[in-house]
Amino acid sequence: MNSTRPHWVNKMATIALAGKVVGKAGEPAVSLKQAKDVTIASFSIKDNTYCYFKNKDDNPGQFYRCEVVGKQAQLAADRLNRGDRVAVTGQPVWREWNGSKLLDVKNCQLTFLEDSKAAKGSVEDLF
């Protein structure tokens, strides 16, 4: 098969998500670490738009741990706060924690989104 695509195309799964940045009160929304010569930013997002529950008040949402590397890592650390809306696209990686399977998103591309409530000038709490 003769193709002009790079050899790695279609070999790595990707996932695209949008949600709000979450974290523990009193702690930074983004944590930075250095691995060799690369900076890695880690943060969590919560998406409750696509989680179906019969009673909407019971919807706990789905949480994802995201990692951004390189120049975007420092940008994420400088700009992201709890409650900010973001979209991420990256490689899904399953991990186990306390007997539960969780989905992390590695090598993310980060997009900052404007919250529709903020765009309308609402002063309501965005959490």
Determine the pLDDT at residue 114.
75
Of 111, 110, 93, which Cα lies nearest the Cα of 102? Answer: 93
Residue 9 lies in a domain: no
**Does the residue 64 lie in any domain?**
yes
Within a domain: 23? yes
Domain CATH number, residue 68:
2.40.50.140
Give residue 120's pLDDT band: very low, low, confident or very high (50, 70, 90).
very low
pLDDT grade for 36, boundaries at 50, 70 and 90? confident
Residue 68 domain-assigned?
A: yes
Residue 46 lies in a domain: yes
- Quick one: pLDDT band at residue 126, thresholds 50, 70, 90? very low
Residue with tokens 């943060």: 43
- DSSP, residue by residue, 31-84: EEEEETTEEEEEEEEEE-SS---SSGGG---EEEEEEEETHHHHHHHHH--TT-
pLDDT in tens, 60-110: 778 899 999 999 999 999 999 999 999 999 999 988 888 878 888 999 999
What does the pLDDT average to over 112-120?
62
Buried b (16+ CB within 10 A) or exposed e, 10-46: eeeeeeebebbbbbeeeeebbeeeeeeeebbbbbbbb
| Domain assignment of residue 10, yes or no | no
Asked whether 85 and 114 are in contact (CB, 8 A), the reply is: yes
Report how many domains make up the chain: 1
Q: Is residue 120 part of a domain?
A: no
Full domain range(s) for residue 23: 15-114
Q: Which of 33-47, 58-72, 107-121 has the highest mean pLDDT?
A: 33-47
**Per-residue pLDDT tens for 50-66?**
666 666 666 677 889 99
Average pLDDT, the chain: 79
Helix, strand, coil in percent for the chain, rounding step 5:
15, 45, 40
Q: What is the pTM of this model?
A: 0.73
Residue 124 domain-assigned?
Answer: no
d(CA 35, CA 90): 19
